[in-house]
Chain A
Amino acid sequence: MENDKIGIVELIDRTLNKGVILNADLIITVADVPLLAANLKLALASVETMMKYGVMNDWLSATGLEKKEENCLISPELFAKK
């Protein structure tokens, strides 16, 4: 595996799964929009089919999105919590 691919996997994993938790109401997070998850899956796949490596399994599992891939064909506004 090329070094830059490992680098981008490490970067994406951190950016999506880690960081300080904002303790506040009125926060929109990725968990609210399945479309984003579906599209990020594609983004990762285009790097090197990273989904099959399980990079985002925890994230998708936490958001309950694994079985909702078909939703990616629907407009994101339908999923955004107001």
Chain B
Amino acid sequence: MSNNAFYVYGIVKFGVDLDLNEEGLTGKEVYLISRGKFSALVHNCIDKLYTDESPEKIKELIVSHNKILDKAMADFDGVIPLSFNTIIKKGKSSARFNLKKWLSDDEERLEKIWDKIKGKKEYGIRIYYDKDKLLEETSADREIKKIEKNIEGKSQGLSYLLQGKAKSKKQELFQNKVNGLKTEFYEKIKKVAEEIAINPSRISLEDEKDLLLGLSVLVEEKKVAQIKEFLEEKGGFSFHLAGPFAPYSFVQNGK
């Protein structure tokens, strides 16, 4: 096991080696290693991943990782974050050489990403709706009422068929309404944000069953108020705005 490895937090466009004057994971001193226009935020470590028996300790590590990224966002007007526990180690060459080589080889890609994220932060938006109310509205739809009226006085067999038709129509109308609402929120927020991404459904918390839409947005901080204002004005919904975060969701390619 070598002690010539670097834990890498993220990348900033700075180009000069510098102490960050901030403690990272387990109190390690964080500094910048630069090559060309870009600098990696690192601390010295051994080539072994951070882990711990204590779950609380691991949470602390994750929070420390993000504390460094927050500091970088403030000091350098942006940061390209790396995921937790990315460590570059030595091979035939030193870890420092490997890191600098990567900064150099990927400079064009980093430049594209930087142009996009500079001066912006990521927020998570979760929008909730009243599912029961929407179902009620669907049931009150004229088309549904018409089908239900037709059922009255019909034979058992025909009544069964019409009930099935009404149920399927209700589902279709309900889904259309949901999709319409999702599109409306998405389009409205997209106008303010630099970029927007729909969060995968893996975060579906049990006690928030009526989540309409989960989004990640890349946005200038001064424009966040506009998003909040729109969400607050739109009645019948509730929302949760999380962040700011380093722009994790918008740096995975150099487009």
Chain B positions within 8 Å of A82 at CB level = 1
Stretch from B174-182, B226-234, B241-249 forming part of the interface with A: B241-249
Are B245 and A10 in contact (CB-based, < 8 A)? yes
Instruction: Convert B5-21 into 0s and 1s, putting 1 for each residue whose CB lies closer than 8 angstroms to a CB of A.
Output: 10010110000000000
Q: A45-B55, A55-B203 are in contact. Are A30 and B84 (CB under 8 A)?
A: yes
Q: Which of B56-64, B129-137, B141-149 contacts A (4 or more CB under 8 A)?
A: B56-64
B90 on the A face (CB < 8 A):
yes
| A20 pairs with B200, CB closer than 8 A | no
Query: Which one of A22, A25, A33, A76 contacts B91 once the chains associate, using CB atoms below 8 Å?
Result: A25
Complex contact B88–A46 (CB within 8 A)? no
Contact check, B59 vs A20: say whether CB atoms are below 8 A apart: no
Candidates B52, B105, B126; contact of A39 at CB < 8 Å: B52
Interface centre among A19, A39, A47, A55 (most CB of B within 10 A): A19
Task: Tell me the count of chain B residues lying within 8 A, CB to CB, of chain A.
Answer: 61
**Known contacts A53-B205, A76-B49; A27 and B59 CB within 8 A of each other:** no
Whether B86 pairs with A29 at a CB distance below 8 angstroms is yes
Can you name the residue of chain A whose Cβ is closest to the Cβ of B59?
A43
Of B75-83, B152-160, B163-171, B187-195, the one contacting chain A is: B75-83
How many Å from the CB of B77 to the closest CB on chain A? 17
Compute how far the CA of A77 lies from the CA of B49 in the bound complex, rounded to whole angstroms. 9
Q: Does B124 contact A (CB under 8 A)?
A: yes
- Complex-state Cα separation, A67 to B215, whole angstroms: 31
In the complex, the answer to whether A14 meets B122 with C-beta atoms within 8 Å is yes
Contact of B102 (CB < 8 Å), options: A11, A24, A30:
A24
A74 on the B face (CB < 8 A): no
Confirm or deny: B44 has a beta carbon within 8 angstroms of a beta carbon on chain A.
no
Q: How many residues of A contact B (CB 8 A)?
A: 49
Cα-based distance from A71 to B248 in the complex (angstroms): 30
In the assembled complex, the Cα of A32 lies from the Cα of B50 at a distance in Å of 12
> A15-B83, A22-B102 known; A40 and B124 CB under 8 Å?
no
Task: Let me know if B23 is at the binding interface, CB within 8 A.
Answer: no
Contact assessment for A39 and B51 in the assembled complex, using a CB-CB cutoff below 8 Å: yes
Q: B83: which A residues are within 8 A, CB to CB?
A: 15-19, 29-30
Within B32-57, the residues touching A (CB, 8 Å) are: 47-53, 55-56
Pick the residue among A3, A39, A57, A58 that contacts B240 (CB under 8 A).
Answer: A3
Q: Assuming A19-B252, A42-B58, what are 9 further A-B pairs, CB within 8 angstroms?
A: A3-B240, A11-B62, A11-B245, A15-B248, A18-B249, A26-B91, A27-B86, A27-B89, A58-B200
User: Interface of B with A (CB < 8 Å)?
Assistant: 1, 5, 8, 10-11, 47-53, 55-56, 58-59, 62-63, 65-66, 80-91, 95, 98-99, 101-102, 105-106, 110, 113, 122, 124, 126, 200, 202-208, 240, 242-243, 245-246, 248-249, 251-252
- Name the 5 nearest CB pairs between A and B, nearest first: A18-B248, A43-B55, A19-B83, A14-B248, A42-B55
